[in-house]
């Protein structure tokens, strides 16, 4: 697995909710469940999970980034049935004690997602479920096409990810990955994040990529995939395009759920 080489933007993580941003998981949670959230970030969705399973259930959020776990504890420490631990998913112990194991937008940052899912499988109790949610970054749609400098940034983002061994089409492979880990009866659903001008969420949806430029741009430049002047041009052009011309952004997102056999 590639070493942690970036920090996610907390503004993006903090605005996410279980009901809006992890709908497939929200639909299966029941009171009393024990849930493991892999790649919990600042804990916004994990805290919602804890509330959904109620006082007789529990939620454990793990993240390999110590700063994220620190923020998660600060922001959600008042939720009694919620805990956070700094832990790499590859270091999970063989404790098959969770009714549901989930990873939302986390496997995309792992060089060997098959190894991560093997550890998640080991943490799932027999009869329990895994729910994973991932982008297919290579199929992002913008209408109309953005300025060339914005597209240049996005192509550099994809190339940087590819150089780190991170799959830009992982959303297309979720059922395959779950099956390889041992889960059965995987079902995939379309969870695309769509931002349409003059509809709620448009500004936030388009702002996501400006925040990615701010957060990851210098890393992509340092890695040699983009020149500093190209990053500056992309940031300026993206702001103008969003304000005047952009009509639609579709981020291709898929969820897949599978079950660990009772006899495994």
Q: What is the pLDDT along the chain (264 residues), one digit of tens a residue?
A: 344 455 666 776 677 899 999 999 999 999 999 999 999 999 999 999 999 999 999 999 999 999 999 999 999 989 999 999 999 999 998 889 999 999 999 999 999 999 999 999 999 999 999 999 999 999 999 999 999 999 999 999 999 999 999 999 999 999 999 999 999 999 999 999 999 999 999 999 999 999 999 999 999 999 999 999 999 999 999 999 999 999 999 999 999 999 999 987
Q: CA nearest 175: which of 193, 189, 161, 191?
A: 189
- Has residue 80 been placed in a domain? yes
| 126 found inside a domain | yes
Q: Hey, what long-range contacts does 185-191 have (CB within 8 A, 24 or more apart)?
A: 185/258, 185/259, 186/256, 186/257, 186/258, 187/256, 187/257, 187/258, 188/254, 188/255, 188/256, 189/24, 189/254, 189/255, 189/256, 190/253, 190/254, 191/23, 191/24, 191/133, 191/253, 191/254, 191/255
Model's pTM, two decimal places?
0.93
Residue 98 lies in a domain: yes
> Per the domain annotation, does 5 fall within a domain?
no
Contact at 8 Å (CB) between 157 and 127? no
Quick check: is 190 in a domain? Answer: yes
Q: Which domain holds residue 240?
A: 10-259
Instruction: Please check whether residue 264 lies inside any domain of the structure.
Output: no
Q: What is the pLDDT, as a whole number, of residue 1?
A: 35
CATH of residue 235's domain is 3.40.50.150
Q: CA dihedral defined by 167, 205, 142, 177, rounded to 10 degrees?
A: 20
Domain membership of residue 1 (yes or no) is no
Question: Pairing between strand 124-135 and 98-104?
Answer: parallel
User: Is 88 part of a structural domain of the chain?
Assistant: yes
Q: Please give the tally of structural domains in the chain.
A: 1
């Amino acid at each position: 697995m590639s070493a942690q080489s970036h920090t996610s933007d907390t503004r993006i993580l903090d605005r996410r909710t279980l009901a809006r941003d992890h709908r497939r998981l929200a639909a299966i949670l029941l009171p009393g469940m024990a849930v493991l959230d892999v790649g919990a970030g600042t804990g916004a969705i994990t805290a919602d999970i804890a509330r959904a399973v109620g006082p007789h259930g529990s939620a454990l959020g793990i993240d390999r980034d110590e700063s994220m776990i620190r923020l998660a504890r600060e922001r959600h420490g008042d939720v009694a049935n919620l805990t956070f631990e700094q832990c790499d998913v590859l270091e999970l112990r063989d404790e098959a004690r969770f009714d549901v194991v989930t990873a939302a937008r986390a496997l995309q940052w792992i060089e060997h997602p098959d190894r991560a899912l093997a550890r998640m499988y080991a943490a799932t109790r027999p009869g329990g479920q895994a729910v994973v949610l991932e982008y297919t970054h290579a199929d992002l749609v913008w209408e109309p096409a953005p300025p060339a400098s914005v597209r240049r940034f996005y192509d550099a983002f994809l190339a940087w990810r590819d150089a780190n061994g991170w799959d830009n089409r992982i959303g297309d492979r979720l059922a395959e990955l779950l099956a390889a880990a041992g889960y059965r009866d995987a079902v995939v659903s379309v969870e695309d994040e769509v931002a349409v001008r003059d509809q709620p969420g448009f500004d936030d949806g388009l702002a996501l990529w400006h925040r990615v430029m701010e957060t990851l741009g210098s890393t992509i430049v340092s890695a040699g995939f983009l020149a500093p002047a190209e990053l500056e041009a992309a940031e300026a052009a993206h702001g103008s395009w969003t304000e005047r011309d952009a009509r639609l952004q579709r981020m291709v997102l898929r969820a897949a759920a599978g079950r660990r056999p009772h006899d495994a």
